[in-house]
Amino acid sequence: MPKLTIDGKAVEAAKGATLLEAAQQLGVYIPRYCYHPKLSVSGNCRMCLVEVEKTSKLVTACSTEAAEGMSVRTDSEKVKAARRDVLEFLLINHPLDCPICDQAGECGLQDYYMEYSLKKSRFPQGDKVTRQKRRALGPHLVLDNERCVLCTRCVRFCSEVTKTSELEVMERADHSFIDLKEGKSLDNDYSLNIADLCPVGAWTSRDFRFKSRVWFLKKTPTVCLGCATGCLIEAHHNENTVYRLVPRPNAETNTWLCDRGRMTYKAVQAGDRLAKGVIKNGLIDLEPALREAATRIDEQHAAAAVLGSPWLSIEDNAALARLAAEALKTENFCFDFSAEQGIKDGILVNKDPAPNTAGAGLVKAACGGLSLEEFSRRIADKRIKVVITEARAAAFIKDALKASGARLIVFAVNRAEIPPEAYATLPYASYFETPGTFVNYQGLKRRAEPAVEAKEGVKPLWAVVNKLAVYSGTSLRLDSAEDALKGINFR
């Protein structure tokens, strides 16, 4: 554990730590472009040059190991001059097209220029090296080579993280540019991380670009519900519209986010978003839809059943459990979902596509209920004649439903989710609009936080359940998601 000083402050660095990491420990920020904690050290941008006592040349903080007794300065005139010089070099051939650049506002060149340079350009505009602009590469990205600072984060990401090695630096000197390797296309499952990694406007997301200036965006920390991995994310939104999802790097689960996960926000704003109920393909207002659903349930009072869902939060599953126990007073309920879990691609994507299999398991542990097998058998035997569940969970009992013709009442966010067997569909608020607790494959509880508001009339699932119970003649007294958990004894 080497002890050293950085800008006069003493620090004991971890063995093998670099100067950049040791400085971070002290809260001393060293500017960087090519350095990324999860990629190999490249040392090419030269932005992190610092002064080490008794060393004649400046050294790169990203690659120099902290050593006992070192005295490091990150704020000397020599260091400041080096930063100004590097920024000047990076900007001479940069197109300075910030007004039409989607990175503006979160650009490493803009930010560092304001922080470390403010030097007037000495380079004639007409002498700039020109390169190819806005080239669509792969389904998700656009590359502007003129804005590139050649930090090679994108190249290293593709070779070290996805191990697909699509990218390469072509040519030499100031003619260098990023390009696809021959015969490759940039369509790996994590390609959008490149837009995040790129410190400048070279790589931008085809989905996000020109949709919103970043300074208008509000950021809500939440969790990705794309699979059981449960990556921590941030939803970026403005005026009740979500514009993008980005990873919230954490030691437990994720540094990155997969492309499919990034697109999960789309369903919330999709054209087939349900704001009304559906009875046999016909749209109908929520209240009559609830009434109709409640009537069908009452018809079969003794033979009504509730199936939880690994796509729903713990609170909403708990609300369903209470619907079964307190309103329907039936033993025909099931929270028995098992799925093979674990990372299937060596990076983030889980074998279990549902975000809350483990959370549903907690409800099962607390409330009991039938096994999925027994539940299905009772449907097939026509002991269960009406099933209330979430749209995607209906797939678990698809065969039994087909065999018995039992009525299916589902909760759905989008029309596309509704299974063909559904008799009635009740809309509910997505987890971008309402909070919920999920348990990922590691057993970690993660909270979805609302980033936007649901359309008028669209309620959280627990609230829809509450109403359904009222129409069936029972009050569950649910005023919040947390209320659903009351009376359930979680072990």
Partner 1 sequence: MILNMESILLKDNVECLEGYFAAGGYKPLKKALALKPSEVTDEVKKSNLRGRGGAGFPTGLKWSFIPKDAPGPRYLVCNADEGEPGTFKDRELLLKNPHALIEGMAIAGYAIGAAHGYIYIRGEFAAEAALLERAVADARAKGFIGRNILGSGFNFELFVHRGAGAYICGEETALLESLEGFKGQPRLKPPFPAVKGLFGSPTVINNVETLAAVPSIIEKGGDWYAAIGAGKSAGTKLFCVSGPVNKPGVYELPLGVPFRTFLENNCGGLKAGKKLKAVIPGGSSTPVLTAAEALAVNLDYESLAAAGSMLGSGAVIIIDESQCMVKLLQVLARFYHHESCGQCTPCREGCGWIEKLLNRLEDGRGTVKDLDTLYSVAEAMLGRTICPLADAMAMPVMSFVKKFRSEFEAHAAGKCCPPDAAGEH
Binding site for partner 1 (CB under 8 A): 41-47, 49, 56-58, 60, 63, 82, 85-86, 88-90, 92-93, 122-123, 127, 129, 149-150, 169, 171-176
Q: Which is nearer to partner 1, 148 or 321 (CB)?
A: 148
Q: Which is nearer to partner 1, 63 or 241 (CB)?
A: 63
Minimum CB–partner distance for residue 45 and partner 1 (Å): 6
Minimum CB–partner distance for residue 42 and partner 1 (Å): 8
Minimum CB–partner distance for residue 60 and partner 1 (Å): 8
Q: How far is CA 311 from CA 77, 208, 226, 322, 355, in A?
A: 57, 26, 9, 18, 6
Q: Which is nearer to partner 1, 120 or 491 (CB)?
A: 120
Q: Which is nearer to partner 1, 127 or 456 (CB)?
A: 127
Minimum CB–partner distance for residue 93 and partner 1 (Å): 6
Q: Which is nearer to partner 1, 41 or 372 (CB)?
A: 41
Q: Which two tokens stand for residue 391?
A: 């749209």
Minimum CB–partner distance for residue 16 and partner 1 (Å): 12
Minimum CB–partner distance for residue 22 and partner 1 (Å): 17
Minimum CB–partner distance for residue 346 and partner 1 (Å): 23
Contact status, residue 291 vs residue 460, Cβ threshold 8 Å:
no
Give dist(CA 412, CA 289) in Å, integer.
13
Minimum CB–partner distance for residue 202 and partner 1 (Å): 14
Minimum CB–partner distance for residue 198 and partner 1 (Å): 16
Q: Which is nearer to partner 1, 160 or 171 (CB)?
A: 171
Q: Which is nearer to partner 1, 70 or 469 (CB)?
A: 70
Per-residue b/e over 40-78, b at no fewer than 16 CB within 10 Å? eebebbbbbbbbbeeeeebbbbbebebeeebebbbeeee
Q: Which is nearer to partner 1, 173 or 251 (CB)?
A: 173
Convert the chain into a string of H (helix), E (strand) and C (coil). CCEEEECCEEEECCCCCEHHHHHHHHCCCCCCCCCCCCCCCCCCCCCCEEEECCCCCCEECCCCECCCCCEEECCCHHHHHHHHHHHHHHHHCCCCCHHHCCCCCCCHHHHHHHHHHCCCCCCCHHHCCCCCCCEEECCCEEECHHHCCCCCHHHHHHHHHCCCCCEEEECCHHHCEEEECCCCCCCCCCCCHHHHHCCCCCEEECCCCCCCCHHHCEEEEEECCCCCCCCEEEEEEECCEEEEEEECCCCCCCCCCCHHHHHHHHHHHCCCECCCEEECCEEECHHHHHHHHHHHHHHCHHHEEEECCCCCCHHHHHHHHHHHHHHHCCCCEECCCCCCCCECCCCCCECCCCCCHHHHHHHHHHHCCCCHHHHHHHHHCCCCCEEEEEHHHHHHHHHHHHHHCCEEEEEECEHHHCCCCEEEEEECCCCCCCCEEEECCCCCEEEECCCCCCCCCCCCHHHHHHHHHHHCCCCCCCCCCHHHHCCCCCC
Q: Which is nearer to partner 1, 149 or 488 (CB)?
A: 149
Q: Which is nearer to partner 1, 61 or 242 (CB)?
A: 61
Q: Which is nearer to partner 1, 33 or 428 (CB)?
A: 33
Minimum CB–partner distance for residue 50 and partner 1 (Å): 12
Minimum CB–partner distance for residue 259 and partner 1 (Å): 29
Minimum CB–partner distance for residue 40 and partner 1 (Å): 10
Q: Which is nearer to partner 1, 60 or 229 (CB)?
A: 60
Q: Pick from 139, 115, 141, 138: which is nearest to 184 by CA?
A: 138
